[in-house]
Amino acid sequence: MPIFLPVAGVSVSLFVLLGAGALVGFLSGLFGVGGGFLLTPILIMIGIPATVATASDSCQIVAASSSGVGAHFRFGNVDIKLGGILLLGGLVGGAIGVQLIKVLRSLGSADFFITITYIIVLGSVGSYMFVESLQDLRRGQIVPASSTPARRGGFFSKLPFQMRFPRSGVRHSVFVPFVLCALVGILAAIMGVGGGFIMVPMMVYLLRMPMRVAVGTDLFQILFTCAGITFMQAVTNHTVDLVLALLLAAGSTMGAQIGARLTRVLRGNQMKIILASIVLLVMLKLVVGIVQVPPNLLAQAKGH
Amino acid sequence: MNPLKAVVLLWLISPLAAAGLGLKVTPQVVEMGTFYRGAKIQIEYLGEPGAKPVVVIKGSEVSEIFNVKGRAGPIWVNTGKVSISGVPSLYLSMSPQAVSEFLQPEAIEKYMLDLTALKKQIKIEPREMDGDILRTEYLKLKSSENSYRFISDAVKTGEAGQDGVPYVIDLEWPRNAPPGDYEVVVYEFRNGSIAKELHAPLKADRVGFPATMASLAKNRPEIYGVLCVILAVLAGFGMDSLVAALRRKGKSRPEPAEAISGH
């Protein structure tokens, strides 16, 4: 059943849009990732202009993350206090990253730098998570999704402005989540993604947050970030297709519910190993993509 | 004859005469409504016996921005951006047989009737990135999207009558062709030279709900942006509340095992 998208100006199958939305929504609810890395290429592949695909993707992430946040909030998985600090850090980091990209573009090495950053970051995060979770599974260690990893003392605990985050069951200096999230924000801006893939492992391994709370809190900050992006894209580029976004959202909100519910069933190390595998697959796809001769030397620019 | 009657008669027969002797495109406007799935277009044209018509549908000229991939050591990365212009957004050429069989290369180039002719029209900015490779890649891309097509057996020829030979083309309008103004051009060739050239407009336009939404997005972007965020948040929380309510309903339904165990 075809449907005509008003802003994109193309007619596409309704079921393809619902299916694509459901897939990314499922990943979003399960792992707290926005899914932009997957959805934008799918949309371009089905004929949506790249600029509209990117902008509308942000809009559907608002819907999917709202649905995910709602579900996670009921399960007690959203740390609003920490999420607020992460959001601030992410915004500051994002602004720095955008400036950094401008400098790199003027030097003519931005795209090379972005691709290599992508591969290194995804490769390191994915491998670390994969190996660690595999070792846990081999040892037969069961890590419930709600468990808090052992807290580490050392340098972080000596920093000023220590604050307790009861929902996450951790105590940190305000600077720790802020600076770490700013670093993720810089990387996210350079890589042109929401940063969920880096943010969730960072929250689990460095902030020692339980996996489920990390996912819920990440969705919370994604909701605000993408709402801002959606508004700016609508005003500046006029490229948000609301019909496209709502159809994707219809699929993704359902997918997000299933994903969020699955976090109650899966154990922490099982979730980590699945997320690690997806991260590694994305990295592998990137490696193949840059080594293989492209089908065409021209690709529609979607902006950065 | 009464002058008033003469004017009325002339007014009545002129469209018919235009349709009979010239070019007729049906429909003249492709309406893109909510459930638009492409359209069928019929182009009718009355030509001279023995003539070879070539019918071309052209989109307006657009400028597109592309990332250019290039090798950096062993890997392929984006090496820069180019702006490509000078060629139409859509180009469909239909003829009774391959144009090279009845036209000289000069005529093909002059009327842009093959890919080689189109290639020469492409403008690439910045100039230092212009070259045959990128032009060829652009045409390859447009052909793969079905935006540039050359159909050599698309023109059906009817029985010759007193007014000439009717030529008919039934065309599936490409579903991915964007809204905009298009032009239908008939080149009538005789002995390899142009004998007649006819033009007719064709429009692809949003109607109904898509038209309202597109207009809002373009003319009231602030309102549209806020609407997008609010509706997306409502859709998300709405779906979550619906699922939660359904779940509660499911749980509250008494089941024999639950009733016995008292859970």
Digitized pLDDT (tens) for each residue of chain B, 263 residues in all: 455 444 443 343 344 344 445 789 999 999 999 999 889 999 998 888 888 899 999 999 888 888 888 887 888 877 888 999 999 999 999 998 889 988 999 999 999 898 999 999 999 988 887 788 999 999 999 998 888 999 888 888 888 887 788 889 999 888 888 899 999 999 999 888 898 899 999 999 999 999 999 999 999 999 999 999 999 999 988 888 887 888 777 766 554 443 333 32
Taking the domains of chain A in order of start, what are their residue ranges?
2-291
Task: Give how far B131 is from chain A: nearest CA, Å.
Answer: 12
Q: Which of B211, B206, B213 is nearest to A242 (CA)?
A: B213
ipTM: 0.77
Q: With H, G, I as helix, E, B as strand and everything else as coil, classify residue A169.
A: coil
Percentages of chain B per state (helix, strand, coil), in multiples of 5: 40, 35, 25
Q: Touching check for A7 and chain B: CB below 8 Å?
A: yes
Q: Which of B231, B180, B219 is nearest to B202 (CA)?
A: B180
Q: Touching check for A250 and chain B: CB below 8 Å?
A: yes
Answer whether A254 sits within 8 Å of B140, measured CB to CB: no
CA B236 to CA B248: how far, in whole Å? 18
Answer whether B239 sits within 8 Å of A231, measured CB to CB: no
Answer whether A242 sits within 8 Å of B69, measured CB to CB: no
Nearest CA in chain B to A252: B236
Answer whether A253 sits within 8 Å of B239, measured CB to CB: yes
| Chain A residues 161-220 within an 8 A CB cutoff of chain B | none
Spell out which residues of chain A touch residue B35, defining contact as CB-CB under 8 Å: 1-4
A67 contacts A257 by C-beta, under 8 angstroms: yes
Spell out which residues of chain A touch residue B75, defining contact as CB-CB under 8 Å: 115, 290-291
Spell out which residues of chain A touch residue B66, defining contact as CB-CB under 8 Å: 298-301
Give residue for tokens 């601030």: A88
Nearest CA in chain A to B205: A9
Spell out which residues of chain B touch residue A290, defining contact as CB-CB under 8 Å: 75-77
Q: Touching check for A106 and chain B: CB below 8 Å?
A: no
Quick one: which H or E segment has residue A142?
none
Nearest CA in chain B to A74: B244
Task: Give how far A70 is from chain B: nearest CA, Å.
Answer: 6
Spell out which residues of chain B touch residue A227, defining contact as CB-CB under 8 Å: 229, 232-233
pLDDT in tens, A137-164: 777 655 554 444 444 556 667 777 888 8
Q: Report helix angle A211-236 to A268-291, nearest 10.
A: 40
Answer whether A230 sits within 8 Å of B225, measured CB to CB: yes
| Chain A residues 43-82 within an 8 A CB cutoff of chain B | 47, 59-60, 62-71, 74
pLDDT in tens, A41-69: 788 888 888 788 878 888 888 888 888 88
Task: Give how far B48 is from chain A: nearest CA, Å.
Answer: 38
Answer whether B225 sits within 8 Å of A243, measured CB to CB: no
Peptide bond between residue B105 and the one before it cis (omega within 30 degrees of 0) = no
pLDDT in tens, B115-141: 999 999 999 988 887 788 999 999 999
How far is C-alpha A112 from the chain's CA centre? 22
The CATH class for the domain spanning B25-206 reads mainly beta
Residue B129 neighbours by CB distance under 10 Å: 16
Q: Which of B154, B119, B155 is nearest to B139 (CA)?
A: B119
Q: Return the sign of the alpha-carbon dihedral for residues A242, A245, A251, A256.
A: negative
Answer whether A63 sits within 8 Å of B236, measured CB to CB: yes
Q: Return the sign of the alpha-carbon dihedral for residues A243, A247, A248, A252.
A: positive
- For residues A233-241, give the mean pLDDT: 88
Q: Which amino acid is at B32?
A: M
Indicate the pTM of the whole model.
0.73
Interface size between A and B, measured as CB pairs under 8 A = 190
pLDDT in tens, A75-96: 888 998 888 998 888 888 877 8
Q: How many helices (H) does chain B have, and how many strands (E)?
A: 7, 13
Answer whether A47 sits within 8 Å of B35, measured CB to CB: no
CA B253 to CA B247: how far, in whole Å? 10
CA A187 to CA B251: how far, in whole Å? 44
Q: Where are the beta strands (DSSP E) in chain A?
A: 2-5, 10-13, 162-165, 170-173, 298-300
Answer whether B235 sits within 8 Å of A249, measured CB to CB: yes
Q: Is A257 left (phi over 0), alpha (psi -120 to 50) or beta?
A: alpha
Q: How many helices (H) does chain A have, and how many strands (E)?
A: 11, 5
Q: With H, G, I as helix, E, B as strand and everything else as coil, classify residue B60.
A: coil
**DSSP code for B128:** G
Cβ neighbours of residue A16 under 8 Å, at least 6 residues apart? A46
